[in-house]
Structure 1
C-alpha cells in the first residue's frame, strides 16, 4: 500500500527542518499525539545531514480487524529511522524506515522538504508491504490507514506549533 501526503507550512523550510531535528519538539509532538515511552537512541547532525533513530510506543486502537489482532497488542513498539540530507537547491531529502515490533510489515519512505514562496512543503511517500500469506494485504492496508491518520495528526500538530 502506498501512502502519500503533501503538507504545506507557512513556516520556512529551515524552521520545519529545525523542528524535525529537535529532540524536545519531537518528544512533545509524540506525547501530544498519545505515544508513550518516546526516546531518541541516536541524533547526529552534520553541516548538511541529520540522522534520527527513535523509539516510541503507540496505541493500536479498537478498530483493528479481528484477523489482525494476533499481530498487534494494545500498544505497539515503533522504531523510526530518518536520514536527512540538504540539497543544493535549499530543499532537504529524507529516507525513512519504520519497524513495528511483532508486526510483519515493511515500511519505507521518502520525504522532501522544500521551500515555497509562502513557506515550505513536505512531500511524503511511504510504501507499506507485508508478505504474510492470506492476511498480508489486509495487514498492510490497516497499517497504511493508521499511517495516514498518524501523518495527518503530526501535520496538524506541527502546523499548530510552528506557525504561531
Structure 2
C-alpha cells in the first residue's frame, strides 16, 4: 500500500535538516511522543553530508479495532527498529521501519524543501506478503502511521524552535 504524507514545518529546510541530523533531537522526540517507551539509539553516524541513525523503541498501537487474526501479529506494544538516512546536501532521506515479529515491510522516501517554511514530503510504502490477510494488515499499519505522523509533525515543530 502506497500513500503520501506531508509535514509542514515552521522553519526553512536548512533548519529542519539540521534538526533531523541531530542525535539529541531523536532522544527528545521519542521521550515526548505518547505511546513510546524504552527508546535506545543503536547507531548514529555523520560522514560529510550523509547522516544515518538507527534506533529501537517499544511503541503502542491501538489494536482494539483489529480483527482477531491480526492481533496474533501486533501486541499492545511492539518493538520497532527504525533507520533514518539523509543526504543533507540534497534534502533527500529514507526511513526504513521493522516491527519485530510482524511480516510487513515499511519504508518512506522523504524530501525536505522550502523557504521560509519547509515541507517534508513522505512517500510511504507498506507491504505484507500474507495472502488474503496482508491487505488488511497493511491498511491498519498505514492508518497507524498517519495518526502517529500527525503527532510527530506537531512535536517536530515544537522542537524546531531550538534550531
Match of 1:60 in 2: 61
Deviation at 1:120, TM superposition (A): 1.3
Question: 3-state DSSP class of the match of 1:96?
Answer: strand
1:130 to 2:128 alignment = yes
Unaligned 5+ residue runs, structure 2? none
TM-score, reference length from structure 1 = 0.90
Q: Which moved more, 1:146-155 or 1:60-69?
A: 60-69
Cα deviation 1:106-158 (Å, max 9, x = unaligned): 112200111x2322111111100101122100001101110111111100111
Q: 1:84 to 1:129 in 2, by over 3 A?
A: same
Q: 1:64 to 1:163 in 2, by over 3 A?
A: farther
Match of 2:93 in 1: 94
TM-score, reference length from structure 2 = 0.90
Deviation at 1:25, TM superposition (A): 1.9
CA RMSD of aligned residues (A): 1.6
Cα deviation 1:15-60 (Å, max 9, x = unaligned): 2122222222212212221211111111101221101111111012
Residue of 61, 69, 73 corresponding to 2:71: 69
Match of 1:105 in 2: 104
Cα deviation 1:73-125 (Å, max 9, x = unaligned): 121000111221134xxx411122110001111112200111x2322111111
Taking the aligned partners of 1:39 and 1:156, their CA distance within structure 2 comes to 22
Indicate if the aligned counterparts of 1:3 and 1:148 stay in contact, CA closer than 8 A: no
Taking the aligned partners of 1:113 and 1:102, their CA distance within structure 2 comes to 32
- The count of residues paired between Structure 1 and Structure 2 equals 160
